[in-house]
Structure 1
Amino acid sequence: MNTLYVSDLDGTLLGDNAILSSFSKKILSELLHQGLQFTVASARSVVSMQVILKDLNLRLPVIEFNGAFISDLDSGRHEIINSICSSVVESIYKLILEFGCVPFISSFNGTEDCVYYKDVMNDGMRWHINERLTSKDRRLRAIEDLTHSFSDQIVCLTVIGHAQELLELQGAIIERYGSKVETHLMENQYSPGWYWLTIHDRKATKDQAIRTLVENYGLQESEIVVFGDQINDIKMFKIANHAIAVTNADAELKRYATLEIGSNTEDSVVKYIHHDWSNKYAFKSDFDVG
C-alpha cells in the first residue's frame, strides 16, 4: 500500500524559528526524488510557504489557510478555493466591529491573493504587519474601507487580540454562524500573549482538503499519515491511518494521536518519515537520522 504523508508546518515540521532546517530539507529532497508522496497542510499562505519550502519538488499541491486553498506550490495557482459566502462575511464583519475589533481580510481577487487591513489596534496586529513587511509580502494592502474587499473571494477573517475577548467573539460567531463557518483560536507562538481568531468557510478544513487530494490525485488506496501540533489539526488526525503528534503539541490534539514523537526542534517529523519510508520501500540513504 502506498503512503501519503501530510505535515503541518509551524510547531511541527518547522523549528521554533519558522525555518525548515537544512537537515530536513535535504532528507525530504532525497525522498521526494525517490517518489515520496508528501505535502503540507497549514494555516499559512502559499506565499510564505514558497519561501519556507523553496527548492523542494512537491508534486502534490499544498493545503493553505487550513484548507481554504489547495494550491500549486511553485506557481501559487489555486486549484481549489473555499471562500466564505459574501452575506456571511458582511454579517461577521459587523459582529467583529461590535466587539471593538478590526480584522485582517484575506482573499483572492481573481488575479492575485490579497491581505487587507485598516486600523492597527494593538501590538499583536503590529507584529503581523511588520512580519509581512519584512518578508516583502506582496499581498498586503492598506485600505480606508475594508468593505471594499467584499467583492473578492474572501477566504479568511483574522482577528488578533487577547484571549478572553477573542474567546467571547468566537462564541458569538459560533452561536450565530456555526453551521456556515469554521473558527480557530490559537496563540501566536512567535508573538506570545497575542491570540489569533481565524474564520473560514465550513468547507475549509484540513481533513476535507486531504480527502480532495486523495480523490483528485488517485491516492484512494494510500494510507494517510499526518503530523501536527495544534487543535486545527484535530480533524485531519481523525481521518488518518496514523496521526502523529510532536511532543510539544497541544494536549487536546494528543488525545487523537496514534503516536507521539520528538519535538519540532529535533527534525522529528522528517526523521519519522525517513525511517517509515525506508522500512516500507527499502530505499537506502546515506543520511544518518539518529
Structure 2
Amino acid sequence: MNTVYICDLDGTLLGDNAILSSFSKKILHELLHQGLQFTVASARSVVSMQVMLKGLNLRLPVIEFNGAFISDFDSGRHEIINSICPDVVESIYKLILEFGCVPFVSSFNGTEDCVYYKDVINDGMRWYLNECLTSKDRRWRAIEDLTHSFHDQVVCLTVIGHAQQLLELQGAIIQRHGTTVETHLIENQYSPGWYWLTIHDCKATKDQAIRTLLENYGLEANEIVVFGDQINDIKMFKIAARAIAVANADAELKRYATLVIGSNTEDSVVKYIHQDWSNRCALKSHFNIR
C-alpha cells in the first residue's frame, strides 16, 4: 500500500520562526524527487505557502484556510472553493460588530484572492497586517465599507482579540449558525496574548478537504499519515491511519494521536517521513515489489 503524507505548517513542519529549516527543505526536496506523495493542510493561504515552501515540487494540491480552498501550489489556482453563504456572512459580521470587534475578510473575487480590512483596533490586528504588508502579500485591500467585500466568495472571517472576548463571540456564533459554520479559536504563537477566531463554511475542514483531494486524484486506497499540533487538526487526525502529533502539540490533539514525536524545532516531521520512506523503500527492494 502506498502512503500519502499530509502535514500542518505552523508549529508542526515550520520552526518557531515560521521558517522551514534548510535541513527539512533539502530532505523534502530529495524525497519528492523520488516520488514521495506529500502535501500540506494549513490555516495559511497558498500565497503564504508559496513563500514558506519555495523550491519544493508539490505535485499534490495544498489545502489552505483549513479546507476552504484546495489549490494548485505552483499557480495558486483553486480547484475547490468552500465559501460561506452570503446571508451567513452578513449575520456573523453584525454579531462581530456587536461584540466590539472588526474582522479581516478573506475572499476570492473570481479572479484573485483578497483580504479586506478597514479599522485596525488592537495590536494583534496590527501585527498581522504589518507582517503581511512587510512580506508584500498582494491580497490585501483597504476598504471603506467591509460589507462591499461580501460580493466576493468569502471563505474566512478572522477576528483578532483577547481570549475571553472571542470565546463569548464564538459561543454566540455557534448558537446562531452552529450547523453552517466551522470556527477555531487559537492563540497566535508569533504574537502571544492575542487570539484568532476564524470562521469558515462547515465544509471547510481539513478532513473533508483530504477526502476530496484523495478522491479527485484516485488515492482513496492509499494509507494516510497526518501531522499536526493544534485543535484544528483533530478532524484530520480522526480519519488518518497514522495521526502523528509533535511534542509541542496541544494536549487535546494528543488524545487523538497514534504517536507523539519530537517538537517542531527539531525537524521531527521530516525526520519521521525520511525514516518511514526509507523503511518502505528497503522493504519493496527486499521483496522486489514494483
TM-score exceeds 0.5: yes
Q: For residue 280 of structure 1, what is the amino acid of its counterpart?
A: R
In the alignment, the residues of structure 2 paired with residue 51 and residue 212 of structure 1 have an alpha-carbon distance, to the nearest angstrom, of: 25
Confirm or deny that 1:82 pairs with 2:82. Answer: yes
In the alignment, the residues of structure 1 paired with residue 220 and residue 160 of structure 2 have an alpha-carbon distance, to the nearest angstrom, of: 38
Alpha-carbon offset, residue 281 of structure 1: 1.6
Q: Which moved more, 1:21-30 or 1:274-283?
A: 274-283
In the alignment, the residues of structure 2 paired with residue 128 and residue 70 of structure 1 have an alpha-carbon distance, to the nearest angstrom, of: 23
Q: 2:100 corresponds to which residue?
A: 100
Alignment of 1:44-123 (within 5 A): 44-123=44-123
Q: 1:287 corresponds to which residue?
A: none
Q: For residue 153 of structure 2, what is the amino acid of its counterpart?
A: Q
Q: 2:25 corresponds to which residue?
A: 25
SS at structure 1 position matched to 2:70? strand
Alpha-carbon offset, residue 133 of structure 1: 0.7
Deviations 1:160-196 (A, max 9, x none): 0000000000000001100000000000000000000
Alignment of 1:1-290 (within 5 A): 1-282=1-282
In the alignment, the residues of structure 1 paired with residue 174 and residue 134 of structure 2 have an alpha-carbon distance, to the nearest angstrom, of: 34
In the alignment, the residues of structure 1 paired with residue 54 and residue 43 of structure 2 have an alpha-carbon distance, to the nearest angstrom, of: 18
Q: For residue 192 of structure 1, what is the amino acid of its counterpart?
A: P
In the alignment, the residues of structure 1 paired with residue 264 and residue 18 of structure 2 have an alpha-carbon distance, to the nearest angstrom, of: 10
In the alignment, the residues of structure 2 paired with residue 190 and residue 140 of structure 1 have an alpha-carbon distance, to the nearest angstrom, of: 20
In the alignment, the residues of structure 2 paired with residue 220 and residue 8 of structure 1 have an alpha-carbon distance, to the nearest angstrom, of: 20
**5+ unaligned residues in a row in structure 2: which ranges?**
284-290
In the alignment, the residues of structure 1 paired with residue 76 and residue 98 of structure 2 have an alpha-carbon distance, to the nearest angstrom, of: 35
Overall identity of the aligned pairs, in %: 87
Alpha-carbon offset, residue 282 of structure 1: 2.2
In the alignment, the residues of structure 1 paired with residue 26 and residue 247 of structure 2 have an alpha-carbon distance, to the nearest angstrom, of: 23
SS at structure 2 position matched to 1:119? coil
Q: For residue 52 of structure 1, what is the amino acid of its counterpart?
A: M
SS at structure 2 position matched to 1:128? helix
Alpha-carbon offset, residue 221 of structure 1: 1.1
**5+ unaligned residues in a row in structure 1: which ranges?**
284-290
In the alignment, the residues of structure 2 paired with residue 93 and residue 282 of structure 1 have an alpha-carbon distance, to the nearest angstrom, of: 55
Structure 2-normalised TM-score? 0.97
Q: 1:288 corresponds to which residue?
A: none
Moved over 2 A (4+): none
In the alignment, the residues of structure 2 paired with residue 221 and residue 2 of structure 1 have an alpha-carbon distance, to the nearest angstrom, of: 8
In the alignment, the residues of structure 2 paired with residue 282 and residue 60 of structure 1 have an alpha-carbon distance, to the nearest angstrom, of: 24
SS at structure 2 position matched to 1:282? helix
In the alignment, the residues of structure 2 paired with residue 235 and residue 14 of structure 1 have an alpha-carbon distance, to the nearest angstrom, of: 21
SS at structure 1 position matched to 2:280? helix
Deviations 1:122-175 (A, max 9, x none): 000000000011100000111010000010000000000000000000000001
Q: For residue 165 of structure 1, what is the amino acid of its counterpart?
A: Q
Alpha-carbon offset, residue 220 of structure 1: 1.2
In the alignment, the residues of structure 1 paired with residue 186 and residue 221 of structure 2 have an alpha-carbon distance, to the nearest angstrom, of: 34
In the alignment, the residues of structure 2 paired with residue 282 and residue 109 of structure 1 have an alpha-carbon distance, to the nearest angstrom, of: 48
In the alignment, the residues of structure 2 paired with residue 88 and residue 13 of structure 1 have an alpha-carbon distance, to the nearest angstrom, of: 34
SS at structure 2 position matched to 1:51? helix
Deviations 1:82-133 (A, max 9, x none): 0000000000000100111000000000000000000010000000000011
SS at structure 1 position matched to 2:272? helix
